[in-house]
Structure 1
């Protein structure tokens, strides 16, 4: 009996130490610092998403493959919703939505645009460059949203974590779609262009693109038949108009897909 009591005392002591450790770690002082850091990271990704909206429009205009164009159109729509979700998160943590310049995403965008401009217009090699540029951005977002969701859980903000996790899953899905496009058609088409010295005729690419698009759309529509928008009109913004100067950075007053002036989310200017 004494040995049993001693064991119970040891277990209680270990539990007490663990409880004290948690209390010290998550007292008000440290929790406030963590929440401040969390909000600063929210501002970074809010800025990043708005910059990516501009970049997605320009990359879609530069893309050749129908499948890639549609993928970028879809993710543009998703990104608009992600911005709205971030605004909801700001409200839940008692902060006004605002963005702070994120050097990380600006570097990724500038590198991607530079790579695209170095490739030949209307070529599948350029589409390869667009996919790589977008996947670098996706991986940045995946890391950010995954980390923010875990921080939210640590702070006891389970509703915030759920919202951030929804965006995380969209970013993962977008990354997978880009990989499928590259592996199933675009990489091979780009290789053939390099071997023959000629661009592959559009008619020869169409069957593969339609097959990929049908497979992708069937998977996308499993949950909802009306979630994804119909293909946009053929009119696109002029190719080659990428982020050329610092004046482009932080200016979210571009045109949306309907040609209407797009104001900054929640009327906030980030410059």
Structure 2
């Protein structure tokens, strides 16, 4: 994709985060099955439902602008983070250590998403896409809340 305008950058970043959310949708059930702490399992399951809603929001966002198309690009950053989570699931025995590793892997994903949605929100505001900015702010807040929840669960793991 040729990026020469803020609109192009917004469309590119939106496509990237769309790919990331689709990858997260596939990874969360695996992480939930690999976890042993009931609160962590619940957090993964809740975030799976939120992720479905976030994808729906991204679809709505793409429909409301005439220049955005969510292309079939792949978010390579999320691919790497998903691989790291898979390594934990494959190499660490079930229990508190694996749960701690899964929390860390999930928080890396959350921090990536917080950065991505923060950037998209700022771009939407700059482009005067106020309704899009509101949708992005809603998702950004969900990602921040998930990160806080994971931090609280990690504190219980100690």
Indicate whether 1:100 and 2:73 are aligned. yes
Structure with the largest fraction of helix:
2
Report Cα offsets for 1:36-55 as digits up to 9, x if no partner.
11101100000100000110
Q: 1:113 aligns with which of 75, 82, 86?
A: 86
Q: TM-score, normalised by structure 2?
A: 0.94
How far 1:109 moved relative to its partner? 0.8
Residues 98-177 of structure 1 aligned to structure 2 (within 5 Å): 98-121=71-94, 123-177=95-149
Indicate whether 1:73 and 2:41 are aligned. no
Distance across 1 between alignment mates of 2:55 and 2:48 = 11
Report Cα offsets for 1:125-164 as digits up to 9, x if no partner.
1100110010000000000000100000000111111100
Distance across 2 between alignment mates of 1:87 and 1:149 = 15
How far 1:97 moved relative to its partner? 3.7
How far 1:34 moved relative to its partner? 0.8
Bigger relative contact order, structure 1 or 2, given CA contacts below 8 A and separation 6+? 2
Give yes or no for contact 2:15–2:69 (8 Å, CA) kept in 1.
no
Indicate whether 1:33 and 2:33 are aligned. no
Q: 5+ unaligned residues in a row in structure 1: which ranges?
A: 1-31, 189-271
Note the aligned Cα RMSD (angstroms): 1.1
Distance across 2 between alignment mates of 1:107 and 1:80 = 21
Distance across 2 between alignment mates of 1:145 and 1:96 = 17
From the CA coordinates, give the structure whose radius of gyration is larger: 1
Distance across 1 between alignment mates of 2:63 and 2:71 = 11
How far 1:116 moved relative to its partner? 2.8
Give yes or no for contact 1:46–1:99 (8 Å, CA) kept in 2.
no
1:156 partner SS: coil
Q: TM-score, normalised by structure 1?
A: 0.55
How far 1:96 moved relative to its partner? 4.0
Distance across 1 between alignment mates of 2:69 and 2:10 = 14
1:98 partner SS: coil
